[in-house]
């Protein structure tokens, strides 16, 4: 018997793309049902992440038109990752498998077919991986590459060129939802769940319409969050760095004693100034990083909810498809 699929799509101010996205997803879902790959009670679930435009009223309209659409409305904007979680937590009650993707059609929806095949082959996690980054700007390509390199250097097990386009089985999702941390960086956490997993390649396109909700500032914050929530290595590196500097200064002390007894007193104003500035900078940086971790611990101890769901629209009718 075919299984129930929920496609979860976080939406933040996506009124420009929603009509096209919903149309294409509907076609996709219907074709999958017709091929008996998924059950009739499968759904396309939009999560409205506190949009300020017409996104939520458009989602409500879609749900009224066709029961294949479902909507989750968050009480306010909580960010992409939390919107995904809210959608998955709602969908997992009904779905056998959940696909998450962006609203802007950058993720090629035709890859869903192969993800589902991989699921039936026994995979609990199927990562969508970009086959190329041709459409990205040089800058985005470069920084993304640097980010993945840095992550693997820091010991975080993340899948190269995989964003948040993936399929999770029900049990993988249930286990993911047990990771109770407030700072959740999904692409770092998902590999921790384990189970059998595979990747599916897809061509990442350009945003269909509207603007990116990840401007540079937000992207840097996101990368920083990712690093500090997955790895404590930066703190260790600071400790080692501090130790090295201590050793070097011990050497310098010995050298200056030797110089003193040999009568070589060097004026050395510039070198002192430079070392003060460099060390000062390093110290502030180090304190900053340690502060980052302390701040994270502080937030985690509060155990605040990651999102608040204001309303859910979910019709329990099976979708009606003309099977002729």
Chain positions contacting Mg ion, by CB under 5 A: 102, 104, 106, 207
Torsion of CA 276, 281, 283, 285, to 10 degrees: 180
Least distance between ligand UDP and beta carbon 306 (Å): 13
Residue 234 interacting partner from Mg ion, ligand UDP, none (CB closer than 5 to 8 Å by kind)? none
Q: Is 263 left (phi over 0), alpha (psi -120 to 50) or beta?
A: left
Binding site for ligand UDP (CB under 6 A): 10-12, 14, 49, 77, 79-80, 83, 102-104, 106, 207, 212-214
Could you tell me the two tokens for 277?
A: 């500035």
Name which of Mg ion, ligand UDP, none residue 198 binds, using a CB cut-off of 5 to 8 Å depending on partner kind: none
Of ligand UDP, Mg ion, none, which one sits near residue 95, judging by CB under 5 to 8 A according to partner kind? none
Name the minimum Å distance from CB 204 to Mg ion.
Answer: 9
Nearest distance, CB of residue 102 and Mg ion, angstroms: 5
CB 207, min distance to ligand UDP, A: 6
Q: Name the binder of 10 from Mg ion, ligand UDP, none, CB < 5-8 A by kind.
A: ligand UDP
Task: For residue 223, give Cα distances in angstroms to 46, 148, 150, 162, 226.
Answer: 25, 10, 10, 14, 5
Q: How far is the CB of 218 from Mg ion (least distance, A)?
A: 12
Q: Which does 71 bind (CB under 5 to 8 A by kind): ligand UDP, Mg ion, none?
A: none
Query: Rounded to the nearest whole angstrom, what is the least distance from the CB of residue 13 to ligand UDP in the complex?
Result: 7
**Residue 119 or 165 with smaller CB distance to ligand UDP:** 165
How far out from the chain centre does Cα 203 lie? 18
Closest approach, Cβ 77 to ligand UDP, in A, equals 5
Residue 188, binding choice from ligand UDP, Mg ion, none, Cβ under 5 to 8 Å by partner class: none
Q: Which is nearer to Mg ion, 96 or 107 (CB)?
A: 107
How do 97-100 and 5-11 pair as beta strands? parallel
Our separate counts of H helices and E strands in the chain read 10, 8
Of the CA atoms within 13 Å of residue 216, those in its CB half-sphere come to 5
In the complex with Mg ion, which residue's Cβ is closer, 2 or 143? 143
Residue 79 binds which one of Mg ion, ligand UDP, none, with CB within 5 to 8 A depending on kind?
A: ligand UDP
Q: Whole-angstrom Cα distance, residue 32 to residue 27?
A: 9
Distances (CA, A) of 227 to 147, 175, 187, 287, 299: 9, 22, 11, 16, 16
Nearer to Mg ion, 3 or 24 (CB): 24
Select 100 or 169, whichever has its Cβ closest to ligand UDP: 100
Dist CA 184 CA 82 (whole Å)? 8
Closest to ligand UDP by CB, 113 or 136: 136
The full DSSP string for 129-192 is EES--TTS-HHHHHHHHHHHHHHHHTT----TTEEEEEEEEHHHHHHHHT---SS--HHHHHHH
Coil, strand, or helix at residue 312?
A: strand
Q: Which is nearer to ligand UDP, 216 or 258 (CB)?
A: 216
């Amino acid at each position: 018997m075919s299984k129930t699929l929920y496609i979860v799509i976080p939406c933040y101010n996506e009124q420009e793309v929603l009509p096209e996205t919903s149309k294409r997803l509907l076609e996709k879902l219907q074709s999958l049902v017709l091929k008996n790959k998924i059950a009739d009670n499968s759904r396309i679930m939009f999560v409205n992440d506190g949009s300020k435009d017409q996104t939520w009223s458009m989602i409500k309209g879609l749900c009224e038109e066709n029961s294949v659409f479902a909507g989750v409305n968050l009480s306010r904007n909580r960010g992409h990752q939390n919107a995904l979680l809210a959608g998955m937590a709602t969908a997992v009650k009904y779905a056998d498998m959940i696909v998450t993707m962006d609203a802007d059609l950058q993720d090629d929806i035709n890859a869903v077919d192969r993800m589902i095949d991989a699921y039936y082959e026994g995979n609990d996690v199927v990562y969508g991986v970009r086959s190329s980054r041709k459409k990205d700007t040089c800058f985005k390509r470069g920084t993304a590459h640097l980010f993945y390199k840095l992550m693997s250097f820091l010991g975080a097990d993340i899948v190269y060129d995989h964003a948040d386009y993936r399929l999770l089985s029900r049990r993988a999702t249930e286990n993911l939802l047990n990771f109770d941390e407030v700072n959740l960086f999904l692409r770092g956490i998902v590999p921790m769940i384990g189970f059998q997993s595979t990747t599916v390649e897809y061509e990442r396109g350009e945003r269909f319409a509207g603007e990116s909700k990840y401007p540079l500032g937000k992207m840097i914050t996101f990368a920083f969050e990712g690093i500090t929530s997955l790895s404590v290595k930066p703190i260790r590196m600071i400790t080692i760095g501090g130790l090295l500097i201590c050793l070097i200064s011990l050497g310098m002390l010995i050298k200056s004693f030797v110089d003193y007894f040999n009568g070589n007193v060097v004026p050395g104003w510039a070198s002192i100034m430079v070392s003060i500035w460099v060390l000062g900078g390093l110290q502030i940086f180090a304190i900053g990083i340690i502060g980052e971790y302390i701040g994270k611990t502080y937030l985690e101890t509060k155990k605040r909810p990651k999102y608040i769901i204001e309303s859910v629209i979910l019709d329990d009718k099976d979708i009606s498809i003309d099977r002729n």
